[in-house]
Each structure stands twice: as structure tokens, then as C-alpha cells.
């Protein structure tokens, strides 16, 4: 009996198991069928969906369109300065108030949940209104490029 390596019976078992897997794999695969259609089965098949006509493609997505926009319009620096200064001035008042309302709302929501026997829905009703939403006014929110919310109405 050997102390190291494979014994002759263990090696034979591994070879037989490996050969049986190799021989049975095509049979199992053929029984399952091919769930993805082959491109030769249907000429309209595409992994990217049905083909679109050239007139349906918008110019910004068509590399060969004559009216494709080259670059975005230049940003007006004076507008950018005004939006940045405006958001800074608004945030000097808005952020401390929103933070205080959020902290008080978190405490009141916790008390409401505790006073209702640990009801999480009662606490969440207060938390959604007081702690959710935007804590800062950004230049993009002033310009309308992003969304600004005071609170959430989610249940």
C-alpha cells in the first residue's frame, strides 16, 4: 500500500467518472434544447432587438447624420456664477433649518413609534416628512436640471 499519491483503484474511478461526464454532457444539452434562437433560424433576429429604419434613429445617436450635434452649447459663466452664489446664500439659511427639522423629526418620530407600542408605521409617517428630501439647494436644482424635494410622501 502506498502512502503518497493515488492508488490504482482511485485513479481508475476518476478516469471513468471523467469520461462518463464527457460522454453524457452532449446528450443532456441536446435534451434541454437551445433557448436562444440562432441567427440562421430567423433573419430578423438580433441580440439588440428588432432592427430600426435609418429614418427612425435620432441624429444625436446616428454617427453619419448630417445634422448631428457636434458639441453642447457653451455654458454661460455669468449664469453659473449667479447660480452658485444664489445657492450659497440660500443654503446659509436653508441647511440649518432643514437640519434642525430633521433632528427634531427623528426624535418625534421615535417617540410616536414608542408611544404606539413600537409601531414602525407611525414613526415612519413622521420620519418621511421631516428627514427625507434635499438638505442642500444646488445650482442644478435652481436651474431645473435636478430635482429638489422638501420631504417625502412615501408611506
Domain contains 48: no
37-59 pLDDT, tens digit each:
555 555 555 566 666 666 666 66
Q: What is the separation of C-alpha 83 from the centre of its chain, rounded to a whole number of angstroms?
A: 29
Domain contains 60: no
Reported confidence tier of residue 155, pLDDT bands at 50, 70, 90: low
Measured CA to CA, the distance from residue 152 to residue 126 in angstroms comes to 10
* DSSP per-residue codes, 4-56: SS--HHHHHHHHHHHHHHHHHHHHHHHHH--SSPPTTT-TT--TT-S---GGG
State the virtual CA torsion across 42, 48, 57, 69 in degrees, nearest 10: -150
Domain contains 1: no
Is pTM beyond 0.75? Reply is no
Q: Judge whether 138 and 146 are in contact, CB under 8 Å.
A: yes
Measured CA to CA, the distance from residue 108 to residue 84 in angstroms comes to 34
Measured CA to CA, the distance from residue 42 to residue 47 in angstroms comes to 12
Reported confidence tier of residue 26, pLDDT bands at 50, 70, 90: low
| Domains in the chain, number | 1
Domain contains 59: no
Domain contains 16: no
What would the grid cell of residue 120 be?
Answer: 414602525
Domain contains 131: yes
Count the residues in the chain: 155
pLDDT at 97 over 90: yes
pLDDT at 11 over 60: yes
Domain contains 122: yes
Domain that holds residue 94: 77-143
Domain contains 105: yes
Measured CA to CA, the distance from residue 139 to residue 135 in angstroms comes to 13
Which comes out higher in pLDDT, residue 123 or 153?
123
Measured CA to CA, the distance from residue 75 to residue 82 in angstroms comes to 13
Amino acid at each position: 500500500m502506498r502512502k503518497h499519491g493515488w492508488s490504482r483503484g482511485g485513479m481508475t474511478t476518476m478516469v471513468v467518472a471523467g469520461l462518463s461526464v464527457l460522454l453524457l454532457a452532449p446528450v443532456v444539452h441536446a435534451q434541454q434544447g437551445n433557448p436562444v434562437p440562432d441567427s440562421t433560424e430567423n433573419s430578423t433576429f438580433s441580440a439588440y432587438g428588432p432592427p430600426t429604419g435609418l429614418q427612425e434613429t435620432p441624429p444625436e445617436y446616428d454617427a453619419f447624420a448630417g445634422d448631428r450635434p457636434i458639441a453642447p452649447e457653451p455654458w454661460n459663466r455669468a449664469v453659473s456664477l449667479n447660480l452658485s452664489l444664489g445657492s450659497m446664500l440660500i443654503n446659509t439659511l436653508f441647511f440649518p433649518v432643514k437640519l434642525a427639522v430633521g433632528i427634531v423629526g427623528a426624535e418625534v418620530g421615535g417617540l410616536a413609534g414608542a408611544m404606539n407600542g413600537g409601531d414602525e408605521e407611525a414613526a415612519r409617517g413622521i420620519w418621511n416628512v421631516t428627514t427625507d428630501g434635499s438638505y442642500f439647494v444646488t445650482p442644478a436644482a435652481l436651474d431645473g436640471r435636478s430635482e429638489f424635494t422638501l420631504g417625502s410622501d412615501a408611506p
